[in-house]
Every structure is written in structure tokens, then in C-alpha cells.
């Protein structure tokens, strides 16, 4: 193995490999838009929305310009306003909290379940106040949050549910696709997501016609008829070029997700056989995860990461500094010790290379390198 150390490289994701596998489909899709010149809310946007709604087994889909916009417009469309509180998970990408702040509401955080990494529903009731209006579960790492428990609590307290499904395109919970399990679901379509555009993009799904109508207004200056403005909306539309790319990619998503699941199973099997010091991911019963990332835990995470880097293996930490310890959120009043599981895991988690095109011999090389550290 020593001879390989300096030469072999395993990237964290390989967008080029994916592009080469679909290049023949992407190029005509893009040139079709260039020929039609329907750059703004063109045919491909409506077609992608129809296909994404069907894929998510939802009534409606609305394309927007990023995942963060999707979350912000979702909150507005279900009536979240200044002064409200929205509960989300302590371990998530900062955009989940930022979107809540953008509408003038306050993000209230709860710690995660130590086995699944998802919002711990046992902590929800204690976080609910008279100002709480909604819960935003995040299907982090491509693992569905415990939607049965979240939904039961939301119903009991009359709260809306906005799913942040930005890492879980195609995942299932109790047989149903995530995104359409609450009032509205938001997906980032950032390039490296399981379904990613060639630039920024996002999409929302809902079964509620009123919510879908509001989203269409909000993303397009508050207008459905040109130069008539019902509300003060935004310019947050999904680009037609991106929609054309996304239509091509959506048709491959299930096969890419199943490749990711196969890689995850192989990682977990090989690591369990060979490396006692590593904790591998666990999924909740009745879920079908899509492994946006494959996260392990190790007590000497920084040492392991340096060791893998020396072997040419790229890794990432999702996330190294929890939201409540970020300077941007110092004013929430949390501190060290507020969310013990999230804080402990921030020091021990490490995401290994994961993408559909990952070759099995590269995966074995990563496992060999992890094993040679411990
Ligand atoms: C990627 C991501 C977002 C933000 O999406 P953008 O498209 O980058 O705005 C929000 N929430 C989660 C959980 C994400 O992973």
C-alpha cells in the first residue's frame, strides 16, 4: 500500500464522472433551450416541475433559484412571520436556520438522536412555546427524520411542517418520498446534491394547492399575470437552462441513489469487519436513505482525516461548528453544552467519499486506509 500513497487520489465527489456519463443527453437539452430562447420560466421549468412532483408523489412542484430560497419561500407560504419561532435541528447546514431568520422568525434548535443524526423528537415538546408556529425537520445526510413522531407532535400543537429535504432527494420514510410528508418540502439542487443543477437551483413540493399558488407568486414578483402584482414577491425563479439539465438528471436519480446505497452497504460491511474503532451510519426502521454523504465517527477524527489526506483521500466534516456556536447566531443565547450530542459529534464525525460513480476498488482503498490508521 505504501507505494500507492503518493499517487492514488479519491475525490470526495466527482461531478465530472457524472457529466461524462450523461453528456449525450445534456448537450441537446441545453441547445434546445438556446434554440427556443425561453430562458425565463420556459417550457423546461414547467416540465421539470411536473416530473419532480410525480417523482416525489406530490401534487405540485415549484422551481426556484436555490435551496435557501426554497426554504425561505416555504416559510412565507405557510404564514410564518416576524416574531414566530420555528424549531429545527441543531446539526444542519446553516441555511436551514438562515431561512427562518430571513422571514423575521427565530430558529429554536433541538439536539439530534445519537443513532440516526436526525432531530430528536423526544426533545420537541420542551422546545415548543406560545410563539412556535412550525417545525422544520432536516433529512440530514440523506436519512429521513422521524416523520411519524414529528407529525404527531405538530398535529397536537397545531404547527406547520416544512421539510428541509436538501440532502434527501428520493429518500423514503414508511414507503413515501420525503418532501411531501408535511405542509411543504424544500430541496436544494446545488451541483453536489443527489439531484444537482449546473449552478444554483432549488425546488419545492407540496400537496396543498394554496401553498403552491403562493409559492408561484412569491418567486415571480408576486405576479402570475405580467405587470399585475398581488403581493410583494421576489425574483427567485428556477432558470430554464438549469431545469433542462435537471430533467435529464431526474431520470437517473433512482439509479444513482441505489448506487449510493450499495456503496454505503459495502463501506459499512468492510469497515465493520476490519475497524472496530469506527462507528458506521444507522438508518431508522422503515426508512430508505439516499446517502447524500456517508458519515462515520472516530475518537481521533482529526488524526484519521490527516491520515486519509496523506493517502490522497478527500473527506469533509458535516459540520465542524454547530449553528448555535457560530458567531452569526451568538444572539440566540445558546452556548457550549446546549446541545451535547451535536457538539460531541462535531468533533468525531467524518464524511468519506460518496458519489454514484465511486468505483469499488476506490472504496476498498478508502477502507484499507481507514483500517491502516486504527
Ligand atoms: C444545501 C443545503 C441547503 C441550502 O441549499 P442552497 O441551494 O445551497 O441554497 C439547505 N439545507 C440543507 C440541509 C442543505 O444541505
Read off the pLDDT of residues 306-349 as tens digits, 9 standing for 90 and up. 999 999 999 999 999 999 999 999 999 999 999 999 999 999 99
Residue from 119, 166, 196 whose mutation best tests the ligand 1 pocket (most atoms within 8 A of CB): 166
Sheet of 85-89: strand order equals 60-64, 202-206, 184-188, 160-164, 132-136, 85-89, 106-110
Question: Does 193 fall in a domain?
Answer: yes
pLDDT of 322: 97
CB of 220 closer than 6 A to ligand 1? no
Is residue 83 domain-shared with residue 97, that is, in the same domain? yes
| Residue 38, pLDDT above cutoff 70 | yes
pLDDT mean over 130-143: 98
pLDDT of 374: 67
CB of 143 closer than 6 A to ligand 1? no
Percent of the chain at pLDDT > 90 equals: 97
Is residue 179 domain-shared with residue 298, that is, in the same domain? no
pLDDT of 305: 98
pLDDT of 224: 87
| Residue 45, pLDDT above cutoff 80 | yes
pLDDT of 292: 98
| Residue 6, pLDDT above cutoff 90 | no
Is residue 181 domain-shared with residue 305, that is, in the same domain? no
Question: Does 14 fall in a domain?
Answer: no
Question: Does 194 fall in a domain?
Answer: yes
- Radius of gyration over alpha carbons of the chain, in Å? 21
What is the length of the chain? 374
Percent of the chain at pLDDT > 70 equals: 98
Given 232, 250, 268, the domain boundary residue is 250
pLDDT mean over 140-152: 98
| Residue 29, pLDDT above cutoff 80 | yes
Is residue 56 domain-shared with residue 195, that is, in the same domain? yes
Read off the pLDDT of residues 258-314 as tens digits, 9 standing for 90 and up. 999 999 999 999 999 998 899 999 999 999 999 999 999 999 999 999 999 999 999
Is residue 213 domain-shared with residue 195, that is, in the same domain? yes
Question: Does 121 fall in a domain?
Answer: yes
CB of 92 closer than 6 A to ligand 1? yes
Question: Does 13 fall in a domain?
Answer: no
pLDDT of 5: 54
Tell me if 186 sits within 8 A of 160, measured CB to CB.
Answer: no
Is residue 196 domain-shared with residue 305, that is, in the same domain? no
pLDDT of 145: 98
Which of ligand 1's atoms lies nearest the C-alpha of 202?
Answer: 7
pLDDT mean over 221-242: 95
Given 193, 218, 250, the domain boundary residue is 250
| Residue 49, pLDDT above cutoff 90 | yes
CA 18 / ligand 1 centre spacing (Å): 20
Question: Does 271 fall in a domain?
Answer: yes
Overall pTM surpassing 0.85 (yes/no): yes
CB of 138 closer than 6 A to ligand 1? yes
Is residue 358 domain-shared with residue 296, that is, in the same domain? yes
CB of 167 closer than 6 A to ligand 1? yes
CB of 96 closer than 6 A to ligand 1? yes
Given 235, 250, 265, the domain boundary residue is 250
Question: Does 329 fall in a domain?
Answer: yes
Tell me if 343 sits within 8 A of 244, measured CB to CB.
Answer: no
pLDDT of 7: 80
Is residue 183 domain-shared with residue 269, that is, in the same domain? no
Q: From 158, 149, 205, select the one nearest 177 (Cα to Cα).
A: 205
pLDDT mean over 223-227: 90
Is residue 231 domain-shared with residue 265, that is, in the same domain? no
Is residue 279 domain-shared with residue 352, that is, in the same domain? yes
> 106 lies in which domain range?
19-110+117-250
pLDDT of 260: 98
Give me the CATH number covering residue 348.
Answer: 3.90.1150.10
CB of 202 closer than 6 A to ligand 1? yes
Helix/strand/coil for 24 = helix
Is residue 46 domain-shared with residue 122, that is, in the same domain? yes
Residues in CB range of 334: below 8 A, 6 or more apart: 109, 324, 325
Question: Does 145 fall in a domain?
Answer: yes
Number of domains comprising the chain = 2
**Maximum C-alpha span of the chain:** 68
Tell me if 176 sits within 8 A of 154, measured CB to CB.
Answer: no
Is residue 282 domain-shared with residue 318, that is, in the same domain? yes
Amino acid at each position: 500500500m505504501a507505494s500507492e500513497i503518493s499517487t492514488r487520489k479519491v475525490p470526495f465527489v466527482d461531478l465530472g464522472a457524472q457529466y461524462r456519463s450523461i453528456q449525450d443527453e445534456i448537450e441537446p437539452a441545453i441547445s434546445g433551450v438556446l434554440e427556443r430562447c425561453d430562458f425565463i420560466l420556459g417550457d423546461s421549468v414547467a416540465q421539470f416541475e411536473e416530473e419532480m412532483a410525480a417523482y416525489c408523489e406530490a401534487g405540485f412542484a415549484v422551481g426556484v433559484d436555490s435551496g435557501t430560497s426554497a426554504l425561505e419561500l416555504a416559510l412565507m407560504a405557510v404564514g410564518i412571520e416576524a416574531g414566530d419561532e420555528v424549531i429545527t435541528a441543531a446539526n444542519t447546514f446553516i441555511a436551514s436556520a438562515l431561512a427562518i431568520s430571513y422571514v423575521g422568525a427565530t430558529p429554536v434548535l433541538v439536539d439530534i438522536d445519537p443513532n440516526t443524526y436526525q432531530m430528536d423528537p423526544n426533545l420537541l415538546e420542551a422546545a415548543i412555546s406560545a410563539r412556535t408556529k412550525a417545525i422544520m425537520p432536516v433529512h440530514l445526510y440523506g436519512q429521513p427524520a422521524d416523520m411519524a413522531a414529528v407529525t404527531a407532535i405538530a398535529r397536537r400543537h397545531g404547527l406547520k411542517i416544512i421539510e428541509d429535504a436538501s440532502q434527501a432527494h428520493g429518500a423514503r420514510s414508511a414507503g413515501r418520498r420525503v418532501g411531501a410528508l408535511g405542509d411543504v418540502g424544500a430541496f436544494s439542487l446545488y451541483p453536489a446534491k443527489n439531484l444537482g443543477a449546473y449552478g444554483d437551483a432549488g425546488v419545492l413540493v407540496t400537496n396543498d394547492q394554496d401553498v403552491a399558488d403562493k409559492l408561484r407568486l412569491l418567486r415571480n414578483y408576486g405576479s402570475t399575470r405580467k405587470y399585475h402584482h398581488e403581493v410583494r414577491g421576489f425574483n427567485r425563479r428556477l432558470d430554464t437552462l438549469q431545469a433542462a439539465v435537471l430533467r435529464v438528471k431526474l431520470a437517473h436519480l433512482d439509479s444513482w441513489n441505489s448506487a449510493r446505497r450499495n456503496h454505503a452497504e459495502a463501506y459499512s460491511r468492510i469497515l465493520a469487519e476490519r475497524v472496530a474503532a469506527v462507528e458506521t451510519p444507522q438508518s431508522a426502521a422503515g426508512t430508505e436513505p439516499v446517502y447524500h454523504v456517508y458519515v462515520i465517527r472516530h475518537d481521533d477524527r482529526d488524526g484519521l482525516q490527516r491520515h486519509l489526506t496523506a493517502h490522497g483521500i478527500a473527506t469533509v466534516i458535516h459540520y465542524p461548528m454547530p449553528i448555535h456556536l457560530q458567531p452569526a447566531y451568538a444572539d440566540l443565547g445558546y452556548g457550549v453544552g446546549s446541545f451535547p450530542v451535536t457538539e460531541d459529534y462535531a468533533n468525531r464525525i467524518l464524511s468519506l467519499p460518496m458519489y454514484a460513480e465511486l468505483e469499488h476498488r476506490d472504496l476498498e482503498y478508502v477502507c484499507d486506509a481507514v483500517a491502516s490508521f486504527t
